[in-house]
A and B are shown apart, each in its own frame.
Chain A
């Protein structure tokens, strides 16, 4: 359609149509998601990356999860994040793993992380994934720095609400 000529209805019908359209919405369901009581459902477990195929697996980008039995302390995640948000720092851990000679693992500062997920793309050992957990607020800035032990905990997220569309309109429920 090139230039569209919109027929201008007369003033009265314009108003009546507007009132009709507005009043029709009194019968449509409300769209709001009542956040603390209702939480959105995310498909899948979180953003993951397959270094062999070189492509990611779709998922929500929240807090990271670190698999201690796979991390080798190669620092690639920290090097990637240096140019983006400088949120990952390698720290010495007390655990002894066969594949982690230097015993260093990443510690992530969520005060700086932008949740872009490029560190997950950078890890060649399937050790760093992202999860669905996004509720990370705390009372002090120091509590936002997650140590490798804290990062190993799998979060529990139980959101069940998604957008449903039916004849009465769309709603979260």
Chain B
């Protein structure tokens, strides 16, 4: 068997073009180097983007998602409304409550049921705890992308507190399958409320340490301030969402604009910053985490002491003929579901619209013209989760 590496260059070129694949060649006149920050790269996740570099400056960027496409939307058409939950939570498994929350809201509208009040509160509590888990994970990866190994370990450790709470509440550490059309699957266990308040107050003290060692560290500031400026008009034009939008000076949060469930009874402020640079995009989730602690406390106080948590449904509920559209604020931005039902027990068409896929449109706009050293801080600050964008 001949060794592939001993084939001549012309033969390799011919084989590649016969397969219909694009051949990326460096041209001598252009003086650019093509780098594939590809799936086999510690700084990219399950995602690839091709950049052309002129010395230290990036002149071209082409994001190439699609490595983790698993056909979530198509799979929904072959399972009934309740069987859809375990596979729908997989696209963004560490923030799974939100992607099932939006689905449950849309299905409840199709089935015409209303979740009892205590169930709504428990859903909101799980959702906020999951938001903390996701943001801490994002912060940990942001730290390691910038070379700060301590900022990788501390959030990953503090995340264990919230995962412990969620494991006590839902039964599993990460794969919760907790939200279900009709409510939540079980009531809160004993001792949960005290444990939750204790962990949340301990966590707020930890947030001060994060500020000291990371956000106020002059080296971090030098690397992220005035880097990747996304002006307000461009943010609206490109259609970004979530913390990226809030870091460009627009106070938009789905929980305030279209409150769902019990969010209209909770008093919290939308965190935003006006500086539009990468530092703002790194700081807004941190402020969100602080605000989330307040929200959890209010939810625990205001929760009714007893009540149903789930609507008892038939075993194979049939939806009414029609469509439903619901939006939720997940860790990355607005996550919405558009479900069309034709009267049977399976949805006819499910369309998931995630924040990650919309935020990635800003990546070529921000990377072109910036330095190669700014690539991790710009890329990860866009709050992009590749698996969710591919669904």
Contacts and interface: CB of A to CB of B under 8 A. Distances in A.
Contact of A118 (B86, B187, B212): B86
A27 to B, nearest CB: 13
B224 interface: no
Residue of B150, B161, B172, B221 with most partner-chain A CB within 10 A: B172
B167 interface: yes
Contacts of A76: 315
A17 B214 CA distance: 10
A24 B217 CA distance: 16
Interface in B185-230: 185-191, 198-199, 202, 209, 212-213, 215-218, 221
Interface string A126-138: 0000100000000
Residue of A1, A15, A57, A83 with most partner-chain B CB within 10 A: A83
B79 to A, nearest CB: 4
A3 B86 contact: no
A43 B216 contact: no
Nearest to A44: B189
A160 to B, nearest CB: 15
A170 B87 CA distance: 34
A84 B212 contact: no
A1 B269 contact: yes
Interface stretch (B36-44, B295-303, B305-313, B359-367): B305-313
B287 A15 contact: no
A118 B202 CA distance: 34
Contact of A121 (B185, B213, B309): B185
Nearest to B78: A83
Contacts of B185: 55-56, 117, 121
A6 B171 contact: no
Contacts of B287: 1, 4
A163 interface: yes
Given A14-B217, A43-B191, A58-B187, A21 B212 contact: yes
Interface residues of B, number: 54
B175 interface: yes
Interface in A101-130: 114-118, 121-122, 130
B190 A43 contact: yes
B373 to A, nearest CB: 20
A17 to B, nearest CB: 5
A173 interface: no
Interface stretch (B15-23, B237-245, B270-278, B335-343): B270-278
Given A3-B249, A165-B199, A117 B171 contact: yes
Interface in A53-83: 54-61, 76, 80, 83
A15 B160 contact: no
Contacts of B187: 55-58
Given A8-B221, A17-B216, A58-B189, A116 B86 contact: yes
B160 A130 contact: no
B376 interface: no
Contacts of A130: 171
Given A3-B249, A118-B83, A170-B202, A14 B218 contact: yes
Nearest to A132: B171
A85 interface: yes
B249 A165 contact: no
Given A4-B273, A22-B150, A55-B310, A163 B87 contact: no
A1 B270 CA distance: 7
A115 B172 contact: yes
A128 to B, nearest CB: 14
Interface string A15-39: 1011011101100000100000000
Contact of A18 (B78, B217, B249, B274): B217
Contacts of B374: none
B82 interface: yes
A65 B199 CA distance: 32
B32 interface: no
A135 B215 CA distance: 40
B261 to A, nearest CB: 18
B205 to A, nearest CB: 10
Contacts of B271: 1, 4
Interface of A: 1-4, 6, 8-9, 11, 14-15, 17-18, 20-22, 24-25, 31, 40, 42-44, 47, 54-61, 76, 80, 83-85, 114-118, 121-122, 130, 162-163, 165, 170
Given A2-B272, A43-B189, 5 more contacts: A15-B217, A18-B212, A21-B209, A21-B213, A117-B185
Q: Which 10 A-B pairs have the closest CB atoms?
A: A56-B186, A83-B83, A54-B312, A21-B212, A58-B189, A61-B171, A83-B79, A116-B86, A14-B218, A116-B177
